[in-house]
Amino acid sequence: MKKVLFLILIVSSIITTVRAEHHSNSSKTLSTASKTKHSVTDASEVTINNLLHGTFRVENPYVKEFLAEFIGMFFFLLIGTSANVQARKAADGMTHPNTTNVSFAWGFGFMFSVYLAANVSGAHLNPAITFSSWLLGDLSFFRVITYTCAQLLGAFCGSGVAYIGHLDDIGKIDGGKRKVYGGDATAGLFTTYPADHMSTVGSFFDQVIGTSILSGCITMITDKTLKIPPSLVPLLAGLLMTMIALSYGANAGFANNPARDLGPRLFTIVVGYGTEVFSYKQFYFWIPLIAPYIGAILGCIVYKLFVGLHGDEVNMDLNLNIVSD
Q: What is the mean pLDDT of residues 120-128?
A: 95
Collapse the DSSP code of 29 into the 3-class scheme (helix H, G, I; strand E, B; otherwise coil) and give the result: helix
Q: Which of the 8 DSSP states describes residue 5?
A: H
Q: What is the mean pLDDT of residues 274-286?
A: 94
Which amino acid is it at 301? I
Looking at domain 61-315, its CATH superfamily turns out to be: Glycerol uptake facilitator protein. (1.20.1080.10)
Which residues, 6+ apart, have CB-to-CB distance to 94 below 8 Å? 88, 173, 183, 184
Task: Answer positive or negative: Cα dihedral of 173, 176, 180, 182.
Answer: negative
pTM for this entry: 0.80
CA-closest candidate to residue 74, choices 163, 151, 126: 151
How many CA atoms lie less than 13 Å away from 129 in the CB half-sphere?
Answer: 24
- Give the start-to-end residue ranges of the domains of the chain: 61-315
- H or E segment and range at residue 43: helix 2-56
Collapse the DSSP code of 139 into the 3-class scheme (helix H, G, I; strand E, B; otherwise coil) and give the result: coil
Write out pLDDT tens, residues 205-227. 999 999 999 999 999 999 988 88
Write out pLDDT tens, residues 300-316. 999 999 988 887 765 55
Reported confidence tier of residue 56, pLDDT bands at 50, 70, 90: confident
pLDDT on residue 255? 94
* Cβ pair 228, 239 in contact under 8 A: no
pLDDT on residue 91? 60
